[in-house]
A and B are shown apart, each in its own frame.
Chain A
Amino acid sequence: MTTATDMAEAQVEMPLQREPGVERRLLRRTLKPLIGTPVNAVVTLACLWILWLAVKGAWGWLVTRAVTEGGAQACKVGHGACWPFYEAKLRFMIFGVYPYDEHWRVLLAMVLFLGAMAVTMIPRFWSRRLIALWAVTIVATAVLIGGGVRGLPHVPTTQWSGLPLSFLLSAVGLALGFPLGLVLALARSSKLPAIRVIAIVFIEVIRGVPLISILFMASVMLPLFMPSGITVDKLLRAQIAIIIFAAAYIAEAVRGGLQAIPRGQHEAASAMGLHYWQAMRLVVLPQALKIAIPPLVNISIGFFQDTTLVTIIGLLDFLSTVRTAMTDPNWVGIAVLEGYVFAAFVFLVFSYGMGAYSRFLERRLRLGHD
């Protein structure tokens, strides 16, 4: 068992072992993984150096070298973060071209939506009442954003933009993609060959091509497929593409759950006299979906990030409004990093939060099984 590294470790520890004491032992336990062997000591030093460079760079850019006063000209001279840019452009970056005086409506809608999300994420509130909560939330956000009732001025979809649009595209995409994905997953594991082949072809084609090509299809080809005289809103076209794309990935996650359910469950259900749909609804799906929850949360995180691709087909999502703010004639060439840093921070907060939730859920579900 005594290898060369163990020997080296023993040699390094020698001076510490001479005077045993509580503090000494504690010190040793902390230091051993850091400077236990010569190689480890070098690695530790290198890590400290990298951390020091990163912290120094970030602190210098954000605080000591930051330009806090003045306008674009002051930022042009300075080399740090340009706070006046944030002051001038923050609302545009978040709300985009939505009418300035109506910003409170989208803000309220976002608060409602995030509140409903927060409630949904707490396992204690998992019940049928959540469906009612979401029905109310969806109607309320739709009325708030679209307007046109009770004196709220109507806001056309061409002005829906910024962070709310990113939330909308991913939330609606997942919410409507889920039932479609469920049907596709059931079809793919069906015993009827024609139905299975249709589902396989649909899922594999969608998963085999990039999202951008489906977005292109929706923005360029869909108008050609519609009968003459019917035009589909640009936002709706992108939304349809995202729903279809989400459905294919959700279908695979659900199928993973379905495959984990032993045959005995199906057989027991039909022995009880349940027909296919009853067996699925009452016996198989409740178990399969529980298994599929962690991958489904991961898909949701991915989709929140993937909605940024609508920038390429010209929709004003969050990333797009941030870029528009950066190319404003007053700020172009000055705030090169500021916008991206802000957008990255927002994405990091939401995605990391969702990821942490997914890990919590996985732990909880595992506990439930054992």
Chain B
Amino acid sequence: MRAEAMSGTSLLYNLRFRAILYQVIAVAGIVLLGLYLFSNVSQKLAEQNIATGFGYLSREAGFVISQTLIDYKPTDTYGRAILAGIVNTVWVSAWSVVLATVIGLFVGIARLSRNPLLAFLAFLYVEALRNVPLLLYLFLWYALIVTGLPGVREAWEVMPHVFLSNSGLTVPSLVWSGAHTTVLLALVLGGILAVVFHRRATAERIRTGQARTMWPWIALAVLLPPALALLIAQPDLAVDLPEKGRFRLTGGAQLRPEFTALLVGLALSASAGIAEIVRSGILSVRKGQWEAARALGLRDGSTMRLVVLPQALRVIIPPLTSSYLSLFKNSSLAIAIGYPDLVMVSNTTMNQTGQAIEGIAIFMLVYLGLSIMISVFMNWYNSRVALKER
């Protein structure tokens, strides 16, 4: 009797038993909560006569998407509409990342300039962008484009055949054909060749200790494949010139105001954050490194490229990853100004089908998946630049 009570209490005071007990309670709690919510949902859905499942993805969508990169017409399926939304999201995010990185790099270096006026201007730029919500800027840029620029009929011809109006920027475009794709592929091939060549030459130089002039060979590696492709495929150089008709502009490629406002808004906001990241990265490299490089006889440019930047990148990459990720997630604000990204297309789909759970699940999974992909890529890059300790 007494022994039994003893073992009962000692079991409760056994650390391993308690650890297991806590975990069982936590998991059971979550499972029960999930079951409870699931039963509520099924009851509600049955009451409101809402269909479930992803069958609707293969039904005809029937709504117009104002701008798509892939071919899409209202007679296509919901699945294709959502795919068009995903492509639009990735498209605007990718361009914004490039633009934000370039601007952020320059502003970040300008913040550290010895010229006080330039440093002050860069400071104003960063603070003005960081302290005002992105959504407000999106509305503002959109309003400026739509109300500040003339209508299509009075479109402003900035350069011959380049029109600026409140329906966006219209520029001449190439009539794309298979031959163009060949040339583009050849250009990519040339780039890869040049990188391989450069690597080989560097390895050779390190092995033998003798530097040879490499740039003519690299230039040749870049230029030769596209030149050959040009000669063989002979792409048509037909250009689609936009013309001002009586009511609208015809021809050419158009940069819509929604896209432009979103691109500018995302890129500028992110560039302010990136500028601060670049600044703190460069500041993290000690002054002695500059002095040592100079003592070795390196010029300013080489010091930056060979000594400071590789060390600064270690500090820069992790926060840069999170600012790319937040830019990508912020592209979902597109819905506020009517750029048809994933969220906006999903929203239209949900309104038409009533299947909110599936719609939200799809876009959350897509965001989650793409976020994970971005962070995996950036972690891989980070491990390349990280300090190699023996």
Chain A residues proximal to chain B, CB less than 8 Å: 1, 3, 5, 33-34, 36, 40, 43-44, 47-48, 50-51, 191-195, 198, 205, 208-213, 216-217, 220-221, 223-228, 301, 305-306, 308-309, 311-312, 319, 323, 333, 336-337, 340, 343-344, 347-348, 351-352, 355
Contacts and interface: CB of A to CB of B under 8 A. Distances in A.
Contacts, number: 151
The 7 closest A-B pairs by CB, nearest first: A351-B131, A194-B23, A305-B133, A210-B329, A210-B332, A47-B117, A208-B371
26 contacts: A34-B117, A40-B114, A43-B118, A47-B120, A50-B121, A191-B19, A194-B23, A198-B26, A198-B30, A205-B368, A208-B367, A208-B368, A211-B329, A212-B332, A213-B364, A220-B350, A224-B357, A225-B40, A227-B43, A306-B133, A311-B336, A312-B333, A319-B135, A336-B143, A337-B140, A344-B140
B114 A33 contact: yes
Given A227-B40, A340-B143, 6 more contacts: A51-B117, A194-B23, A212-B333, A212-B343, A220-B356, A343-B136
B134 A352 contact: no
B132 A305 contact: yes
Chain A interface helix/strand/loop/mixed = helix
A319 B136 contact: yes
B363 interface: yes
A333 B148 CA distance: 11
B188 interface: no
Q: Looking at B40, B131, B134, B332, which has the most chain A CB atoms within 10 Å of its CB?
A: B131
Q: Which of A211, A226, A323, A344 is packed against the most chain B CB atoms within 10 Å?
A: A344
Contacts of A198: 26-27, 30
Q: Which of A191, A210, A227, A312 has the most CB of B within 10 A?
A: A210
A312 B367 contact: no
A207 to B, nearest CB: 8
A40 B368 contact: no
Given A43-B115, A205-B368, A194 B26 contact: yes
B249 interface: no
Given A33-B114, A198-B30, A225-B37, A347 B136 contact: yes
Overall SS of chain B's interface: helix
- Most B CB within 10 A of own CB, among A195, A213, A355: A213
B7 interface: no
Contacts of A223: 44
B134 A305 contact: yes
* Contact residues on B (Cβ < 8 Å of other chain), bracket: 35 or more
A210 B347 CA distance: 14
A211 B132 CA distance: 17
Contacts of B329: 209-211
Interface centre among B26, B40, B132, B336 (most CB of A within 10 A): B132
B100 to A, nearest CB: 17
Contacts of A343: 136
B140 A340 contact: yes
A342 to B, nearest CB: 11
Interface in B366-385: 367-368, 371-372
A34 B131 contact: no
Contacts of B127: 348, 352, 355
A44 B117 contact: yes
B131 A347 contact: yes
A1 B291 CA distance: 10
A58 B76 CA distance: 49
B215 interface: no
A347 B332 contact: no
Nearest to B41: A224
A311 to B, nearest CB: 7
A224 to B, nearest CB: 5
Contact of B294 (A1, A36, A306, A337): A1
